[in-house]
Every structure is written in C-alpha cells, then in structure tokens.
Amino acid sequence: MTSPGLHRCLRHPWWALFFSLLLIALCSIGMGKLYFRGDYRIFFSPQNPQLLAFEQMQYDFNKSDNLLIAVVPQDGNVFTADTLTLLQQLTEAAWLTPYAIRVDSVTNYQHTEADNDDLLVADLLYDPASLTPDSIARIKQIALQEPALVNRLVSASGAVAAINITVQLPEKDQNKEVQDVWQYMRQQTDDFATRYPGVEFHLTGVIAMNHAFASEAENDAKNLVPLMLLGILVMLAWLLRSVTASFATLVIIIVSVTSALGLAGWAGIFLSTATINVPTILMTLAVADSVHIIASAQFALRRGDTKLNALHYSISRNLKPVLITSITTAIGFLTLNFSEVPILRDLGNMTAAGVMLACLYSLVLLPVLLLLLPLKAGKATADTHGAMDWLADTVIRYQRLLLPGLSIFILLCTALISLNKVNDEAIKYFAESTEFRQSNDFLEQNLSGFTLMDFSVNAGQSNAVNQPEFLAAVDDFSQWLLAQPEVTHVNTVTDVIKRLNKNMHGDNQAFYRLPDSSEQAAQFLLMYEMSLPFGLDLNNQLNIDKSATRISATLRNLGSKELTGLEARALQYMAEQYPHYKVTAASAALMFAHIGERNMASMLKTLPLALVLISLLLIFSLQSWRLGLLSMVPNIAPALVGFGLWGLISGEINLALSVVAGMSLGIIVDDTVHFLSKYQHARQEGRDAEAAVRYAFHSVGRALWITTLVLVAGFGVLMFSGFRLNSDMGMLTALIIFIALLIDFLLLPACLLRFDNPREKHHV
C-alpha cells in the first residue's frame, strides 16, 4: 500500500509542516471550551429510568442532595454540655451553608409535648448557656427514644451525632456549587475543631461524594499525566536511543492529545472523572505508531539509505499496518458509544478521534520532523532479536504441547469468568485510602450507612395521606422496612403523626398510635405545621396535594445486587399487600446499582458487533479468509483469560470494567495484525509456515514486545488513581494487553503451524 500524497509531503516538508500546525492549532483552540463536571449525574443519560424516577421524586418532594457532618467527641458521649453546645452552634452555622434549605440535628429537632391544653413545640436545645445536668439528661432521654433521630442523627450509644444539611443546588455550575458547599463546611469544621480540641468531624453525603469525584479527577490529572509523560520519555530514550526521535515522538503525542481535547471542546464535551484520563490513554496509544515508523527509518538508515529514502521506505512499509491498527483501535473505543453511561461514551469518542489524529500526525508530521531534524540511525539491539529467534525456535519445537496446553488454560480461565459479578457502589469507586471512603467506613460502623433508598407511596387522590387505611399501610410498610436486615433507619411521617396523637391526648403513651379518623390526622398535622420553624416543615415527606408520602430508608452500604434485591422485595411486598397504592423507589445509590447491569447488558450486545467488524477488516486487509478467521483466536482469548483471572483477583465488575472488553479488543488486534502481515509476507515469498513464523518473530517480535511494554506501562499508570473506576480499568486493560502478547507469541504461531500448513495437511 503506497500513497503518493504522503511521499509528496516529504518533498515539500515546510508546507506539510505548515498545514499540520494549522490543523493542530484549529483543533487545539477548542480546549478553551472544555469545562469540568464532577457531579454524579454525569454517569446517567437523561433517559435513564432510575434517573427519571429520582427526579420525579425530587419534584414531588423536596430535594434530597445532602451533606452529613458526623461529630465525634473523644469521650464517646455527645450528651455533655460541651458537645451539645458545639452541636447547637454548628447547626446554626450550617444554616449559612450556600444553597442550604434545611438543616436537621439533635439540637434543632422540633420536640413536641403537651402541657394541659398547650402544644409546646421547640428546638430540643435552643439555649446552650442554660444547660444543666438535669436538662442534659432530659435531652438525652428524648433524643435516644425518638425514632426520627436514633441511628440517623445520633447513634444509639450516644457516642456519635450528626448534622444533616439538605441543599438545593441551582445546577447552573454544578461543580462550583458543590465546591462552595464543601469549602464552607470544611472551613466551619476546621474552625470548630480548633475551638473544641478532641472532637473529630467527618463529612459525607451526596455533596461529599460529588466533591470526591471532582477531587479524585483533579488528583489524576495532577499526578498521573506527569507520571505518564515521564514514563514515556524514559521508555523512548531507552528504545529509540536518539534524542531527536524521542523529541519528535513526544511532539506527536502532545499534539495528538491537545487536538483530541480541543475537538472535544468544540463538540461541547466536558471533562469528567472518566475523560480526565483520555490524555494518559491517548499518549500510550500514540506512542506505538511513532515507534514503528522511527524503527523502520532507523533500520533503513543502518543499511545505508539516505535519510529521505529511509523515510520513504518507512512510510511505504508502515502505512498499511499503522492505518489498520489505528482503525481497529478506534473501532474498539467507538463501541463505548453503546454504553449506558454518557461519560464513557465521551471517553470512547475522544480516544477514537485522538487515535485517528495520532495516526495522521505520525504519517504526515513525524516524517517531516525527522527530515528537518538531525536523525541518527541508533544502535541495533541484536540481543532482543536473538531472544526473538530463540522464542521462535522454542515455539516451533513445543508446538504440539503449546496448542492443547494453552487451549486448556484458556478454557479454564473462561470458566473462572463466572466468579465475577456486576457490582456498582458509588462508595466503592473510591479507594480505601481516600478521605471520602474513610469517612463513610467510619460512619457505617458508628452511626449508619450512607446509602439511602426513598420510597414514594401514592394513593392517587388528594389528601389521601390523612386516611387511616393509607396511614396504616405506610406504617406497616415502614415497620416491614425496618425489619429488613439491610435497613438501619426509616424516616416516616407516621412516626410524627403517632407522636402528635399522643401530644393531643395529654402525652398519654397509650395514644402513641395512628389516629382513628382522617380528620384527626389532618388537623393534628395542620397544627403541627403551623408551629414549625423555617425549613423544618413536612414538605420533604408529603407532596403538594397530600396524595403521596416519601419514606426514606437508610441502609447499610450494600452491593448493587443486594440493593436492587431489596428494592424488588419492597416493591413486591407493597404490590401484594396494598395493590391500590402506587409505590416507586429511587435514590442515587439505586441509580448506580442499576447502571452497572444496564451497561453490562448493552456492552455484551455490542461486543460481537465489534468483533465481526474488526475480523472483517482483518480479512479484507490480509485478503485471506483463513488468516482472518484464525485471527479471532488471539483476538478473543485475551479478554476471556483476563476476565477469568479478574474473577480470582477481585471478582467485581463495575461500570468501567464492562467496557474493557470492547476497548482492549481494538488495541490487542494490533499485535495480531503486525504478526500476521509479516507471516503472510513470508508465505507469499514462498516460505513454509515454520520459516514464516521465524520471519515474523524476527522482524516484528521486538516491536510487539516494546509496544506492549509501553501499553502495559501506560494503562498501569492508571492503577495509581484513587478512583477505582480508573484504577480497575487500567489494571485489567494492562493485564489483557499483556496476555494478548503472550497469546500472540505462543498460541498464534502454534495455530498457524497446525492449521496453515499444507504439508501437514497432506500427512493427515
């Protein structure tokens, strides 16, 4: 395959340079339009059913985006004058949090009690200066008996208390809004920590999670990209042994990244926890093209060609494989478009575009740079070639052992795939070393989980929430929920109504039950609502026409299977017991629990499509059905082995891992293409399979070894991310790419010797 256009570039290098720079500039200007989003909604498309249910619930009731501050006194008792004072002051300060619409704590809990014909409604603790041992004892007794507080805002042991801030973000600049909330509360807790030494604060909740998403992405950008650049520089210097060649490659890598980011900016794509690593991935992928072109040119220089001729030779030799491998890699990344997760689609498209740009720059700009800069031939590394020849000999000698042995190994690993299960827990996306994860783990052990599941029970008619039969159903459901092992707390309006019924009957404990008539329930609520302060109303539990109520269950931190299981059980219970009420479940955790499964299902559907496309491309480029079909073995096997081994290593498949199969397919195909095209070249020159395998190892073995090393290192760098979606993806992709090389070196030649050997056929 030759292209007159590419060769003409070399004859007019300055023009080629000019137009390349123009293209790079035009693309890269778009980088100015890039912005960052760190909120959890970027994981969900606007049509996602769980997102729609969640948003509907937020329309019907108030928002539930929250920041929870756990307050942990050293002496293990929050019911002391000091800690109660702190809680009261921090609660007051919490009201000043940007976008706060509600603050709940032990101190501003609206305690109701009867005094003859008076209904007293007041903060449980209003004036800390007036605290006495008696009043502290009273507060403790009330707080630890109040179902709305225990296990939610105070631990049953009284060792940990919490303040929950509900925020209503305007959602104009989500990232900034989250930062504003976080920064304010961080400042406050830091101040309080100096004023009350010995008290610890932990921040968690949806805002903390959004903040963690953003800050982990920032850490990735700050730490991984420089690490990656450094790694590539070291490797290039070692591989190419030429400052110029390394410099030219570095230029290609950087302009590929800036162009891809710029195009994303023009396309209106934003940066996120997923796409923040596009530069790292792209750098890795772009290296291979340049290394192949430079290696060929250096080979020609060593045999005595002029620099111009060496570059012409290199372009002729590499045009086809570079183009084909770039296209297959792009196809692999484009399969991400079938993902349910918008930011993974962005990742796929940005990388695919970047890979094609890198291909273009490697073929046009790189030769021009090499022509204009001084280039040395570099030292030939005979040792690796020697190693490759030895490997060829070994594979040929043990072919009859390798083929069945590796086949059994692959089948075994395939069986291990069943050890994996889909699991998406937003909390577990964060490594145990991250602050967010530590706060959550602490809270789960000492107060309650961070996972919420909200249920809306809708009777379909106005003011139905006051009807005794409706309240009885809600109460029964709340009790059922509380009895589930996964549930630690249930916030339900029936607890409020029972308490009011008791208050209205002179605090007689016998009346701590649901009222007898809808009039009573309605009138008690009317009275209660009239006596509440700003922000502490019931609008977060009752919808506007009082046809529905929201019940919030706090859960232990569960895996996605357990979470969807609880959801299904709850909905089934209500459908059987109270079929006339419409019940829906929604929460951020539930959205993540479902997205993993949905994403996996859609990715599994697209995988065969990608495989067929890539195989057709190989059949077309090799112009051989037999080799094309044979190539499917080394293309499919690495993912099977990789996922099988993953079952042993971790066994958890999250969002990012479900796209690894498609993504890595496009990359590992490259090795096969290079190996097969060299093998085929030798065969066409009339050599037999054995000699062709030797030739393939000798001519391309070292390049494959090097590019694999670069790719494994590149994806390996992602393992240092504190964000498990990125680190797991990096680790598994690196693993699969490495396995692919082993299979290309061991199984593919064995297959070729067995199935592409006419002489052998005659014997059979």
Q: Which is nearer to other proteins, 60 or 424 (CB)?
A: 60
Q: Is position 520 an interface residue for other proteins (rule: CB under 8 A)?
A: yes
Q: Which is nearer to other proteins, 341 or 474 (CB)?
A: 474
Any contact of residue 535 with other proteins (CB under 8 A)? yes
Does 60 bind other proteins (CB under 8 A)? Our answer is: yes
And the tokens for 587? 């929460």
Residue among 362, 296, 382, 289 at smallest CA distance from 329: 289
- 116-145 positions binding other proteins, by CB under 8 A: 117-122
Going by DSSP bridges, is the β-strand pair 421-422/652-653 parallel, antiparallel, or unpaired? parallel
Alpha helices in 107-173 (DSSP H): 133-145
> What is 308-372 written as a DSSP string?
HHHHHHHHHHHHHHHHHHHHHHHHHHHGGGGSS-HHHHHHHHHHHHHHHHHHHHHHHHHHHHHHH
Q: Which is nearer to other proteins, 250 or 536 (CB)?
A: 536
State the minimum distance, in angstroms, from the CB of residue 461 to other proteins.
11
CA dist 541 to 58, 558, 619, Å? 11, 24, 62
> What residues numbered 456-485 form the site for other proteins, per CB under 8 A?
462-463, 466
Q: Determine, following the binding rule CB under 8 A, whether residue 97 of this chain makes contact with other proteins.
A: yes
Nearer to other proteins, 407 or 539 (CB): 539
Distance in Å, CB of 210 to other proteins, minimum: 19
Compute and round to an integer the Cα radius of gyration of the chain.
32
CB nearer other proteins, residue 336 or residue 497: 497
Cβ atoms within 10 Å, residue 144: 16
Backbone angles phi, psi at 123, to 5 degrees: -55, 140
Q: Quick one: 566 exposed, middle or buried, by C-beta within 10 A (0-12, 13-18, 19+)?
A: buried
The nearest distance, CB 477 to other proteins, in angstroms, is 22
User: Which residues have a Cβ under 8 Å from the Cβ of 173 and sit 6 or more positions away?
Assistant: none
Query: Is 266 in contact with 350 (CB distance < 8 Å)?
Result: no
Using the minimum distance from each CB to other proteins, give the nearer residue, 499 or 702: 499
CB 440 within 8 A of CB 554: no
Secondary structure of 251-275 in HEC code, one letter for each residue: HHHHHHHHHHHHHHHHCCCCECCCH
The nearest distance, CB 526 to other proteins, in angstroms, is: 5
Burial string for 54-92 (b: 16+ CB within 10 Å, else e) reads beebeebbbbbbbbbbbbbbeeeebbeebbbbbbbbbbe
**Side chain identity at residue 671, one-letter code:** D
- Least distance between other proteins and beta carbon 522 (Å): 4
Among 283, 357, 504, 655, binds other proteins (CB under 8 A): 504
Q: Which residues ranging from 536 to 595 are in contact with other proteins (CB under 8 A)?
A: 536-539, 542-546
Nearest approach in angstroms of CB 138 to other proteins is 17
Looking at the Cβ atoms of 14 and 534, the one nearer to other proteins is 534
Can you tell me which of 115, 173, 469, 685 binds other proteins, judged by CB under 8 A? 115
Q: How far is the CB of 24 from other proteins (least distance, A)?
A: 45
| Helices and strands (H, E) in the chain, number of each type | 25, 12
Per the CB < 8 A criterion, the answer to whether 271 and 705 are in contact is: no
Q: Is the dihedral of CA 738, 739, 741, 742 positive or negative?
A: positive
Burial per residue of 342-376, b for 16 or more beta-carbon CB atoms within 10 angstroms, e otherwise: bbbbbbbbbbbbbbbbbbbbbbbbbbbbbbeeebe
- Per CB under 8 A, the segment of 98-106, 360-368, 590-598, 611-619 that binds other proteins is 98-106
Please pick, from the candidates 3, 45, 135, 523, the single residue that binds other proteins as defined by CB under 8 A: 523
Binding residues among 61-90 for other proteins as defined by CB under 8 A: 62-63
Query: Of the candidates 43, 54, 99, 361, which one interacts with other proteins according to CB under 8 A?
Result: 99
- Minimum gap (Å) between residue 80 Cβ and other proteins: 26
Q: How far is the CB of 95 from other proteins (least distance, A)?
A: 5
Give me the least distance between CB of 519 and other proteins, in Å please. Answer: 4
CB of 552 to other proteins, least distance (A): 18
**Token digits for 672?**
């096969």
Is residue 519 close enough to count as binding other proteins by CB under 8 A? yes
Q: Candidates 251, 373, 482, 527: give the one binding other proteins (CB under 8 A).
A: 527
Nearer to other proteins, 441 or 507 (CB): 507
How many other C-beta atoms can be found within 10 angstroms of the C-beta atom of residue 418? 11
Does 534 help bind other proteins (rule: CB under 8 A)?
yes
522 is a site residue for other proteins (CB under 8 A): yes
Is 524 an interacting residue with respect to other proteins (CB under 8 A)? yes
Which residue in the set 21, 237, 380, 532 belongs to the binding site for other proteins (CB under 8 A)? 532
Tell me, by CB under 8 A, how many residues bind other proteins: 51
3-state secondary structure 581-611: CEEEEECHHHHHHHHHHHHHHHHHHHHHHHH
User: What is the closest distance, in whole angstroms, from the C-beta atom of residue 470 to other proteins in the complex?
Assistant: 12
| Nearest approach, Cβ of residue 58 and other proteins (Å) | 9
Fill in the amino acid letter for 451.
Answer: T
Stretch that binds other proteins, among 31-39, 391-399, 526-534, 596-604 (CB under 8 A): 526-534
Q: Which residue's CB is nearer to other proteins, number 126 or number 390?
A: 126
Q: By the criterion CB under 8 A, which residues form the site for other proteins?
A: 59-60, 62-63, 95-101, 110, 115, 117-122, 168, 462-463, 466, 504, 515, 517-524, 526-527, 529-539, 542-546
